[in-house]
Amino acid sequence: MANLSCEEIKAFVPAKDYALSCEFYQQMGFELAWQSPEMAYFYQGDCSFLLQNFYNQQHAENFMMHLLVEDVQAWHAQLKSAGLAQKYGITITEPTLQPWHMIDFVVYDPSGVLWRIGQNSEPE
């Protein structure tokens, strides 16, 4: 068997209002590396994704992203203090210990994409 290796994998996140979503993700804490009329490349540390100027409601509302972080409480506090829920009319839940040994919270972006932002937790 050949020695296979991967360097990176990225999701193509849909955007109902591309300009609004670009603004949202920057305010969420992602850096905009480059942008064209059809796509934008965002990153935070070693994590990245592509925002596409494409929208299908059923696809967007069934699309999920998972972001594993070191300090979920800090991320939650930052997103709440940035006023994203009020500004974009989105939902941000409270951090909760999940049965899969992770503390996470949910953020819906302006297109309906669900983000789970969490950190690992030791089993009790």
**What pLDDT score does 4 carry?**
87
Phi and psi dihedrals of 59, rounded to 5? -65, -50
DSSP code of residue 92: B
Query: Does residue 1 surpass a pLDDT of 70?
Result: no
Lowest mean pLDDT: which of 3-12, 15-24, 78-87?
A: 3-12
Query: Do residues 43 and 33 touch, judged by C-beta distance below 8 A?
Result: yes
Query: Does residue 123 surpass a pLDDT of 80?
Result: no
**What pLDDT score does 57 carry?**
97
**What pLDDT score does 94 carry?**
98
pTM of the predicted structure, to 2 decimals: 0.92
Write out pLDDT tens, residues 52-85: 999 999 999 999 999 999 999 999 999 999 999 9
Separation of alpha carbons 6 and 8, rounded Å: 6
Residues above pLDDT 70, as percent of the chain: 98
Structural domains for the chain: 12-120 (3.10.180.10)
Q: How confident is the model at residue 109 (pLDDT cuts 50, 70, 90)?
A: very high
Element (H, E) at 84: helix 84-88
Q: Is 51 exposed, middle or buried (0-12, 13-18, 19+ CB in 10 A)?
A: buried
